[in-house]
Amino acid sequence: MNKVFAVGIGPGSAEFLTQQARAALEEADLLCGYTTYLDLVRDLFPDKPRYATPMTKERDRCLYALEQAAQGRTVAMVCSGDAGVYGMASLLLELAPGFPGVLVEVVPGVTAALSGAAVLGAPLGHDFCAVSLSDRLTPWAQIETRLALAAEAGFLLCLYNPASRGRSDALRRACDVLLTKLPPETVCGWVRNIGRPGQESRILPLSALRQEALDMFTTVFIGNATTRCIAGRMVTPRGYRGPEGAARP
């Protein structure tokens, strides 16, 4: 059966590329993806044919990949992080019934919630959720509701897409919502260009996070009531307690 791999390449540097992802990219004779993501694997596969589309052309990209697979090519849809977390796996699977001879195989990768957390320390030591601040596909009112309820429930938060040229105030607006549920000293952190040249990070309180100028290549972490800064690392305890309050392994 003809095949399209939905491949998560992690943050984009070779050390984050899993063996399964590398094998899929090697097997493919066509790489498809967003231009920036294809550039991240250019040095590893310089001779592979490529098909790139810009942002907002995701459907065209997936249809082309499926069409090429239907014609007998083995295609890899390159996604940053994990293909199933804000990636192209879901769209490929939605469109795949129109190409009955094509199999979509989802290849997992290292999403920014995990690779970014490792840079900061261990901020996701207990229950957490991921929320994208992009309102291109989700109404902002719904994003606000999710932020407020997650914070109220005590979830740690990992925020994707905190800002862009057209959404320069998204992070500030999100912090305004969170500050209605969380104290201003809540420990937060962010990581930019995870695993790439120019990687940088910062740990700071929620009140200061509101003023940060971040971008689409940054992932933001919002702590909960137990999150602490310990020796310069953002740490959330696992939280399992016995009846006497002692931590359980």
In the prediction, which pLDDT does 52 show? 95
Identify the residue whose tokens are 């459907």.
59
d(CA 228, CA 247): 16
d(CA 218, CA 220): 7
Confirm whether pTM is higher than 0.85: yes
Residue 153: Cβ-neighbour burial (10 angstroms; 0-12, 13-18, 19+)? exposed
Retrieve residue 105's tokens: 């195989």
Identify the residue whose tokens are 């601040």.
133
Instruction: Judge whether 77 and 6 are in contact, CB under 8 Å.
Output: yes
CA distances from 28 to 90, 142, 204, 249 (A): 20, 38, 43, 44
CA angle 57, 115, 63 (to 5 degrees): 20
In the prediction, which pLDDT does 164 show? 81
Q: Which residues contact 95 (CB under 8 A, 6 or more apart)?
A: 59, 62, 63, 66
In tens digits, the chain (249 residues) has pLDDT values of 799 999 999 886 667 889 999 999 999 999 999 998 999 899 899 999 999 998 889 999 999 999 999 999 999 999 999 999 999 999 999 999 999 999 999 999 999 999 999 999 999 999 999 999 999 889 999 999 999 999 999 999 999 999 888 788 999 999 999 999 999 999 999 999 998 889 999 999 999 999 999 999 999 999 999 999 999 999 999 876 655 544 555
- DSSP 8-class letter at 81: B
Q: Which of 127, 219, 139 is nearest to 171 (CA)?
A: 219
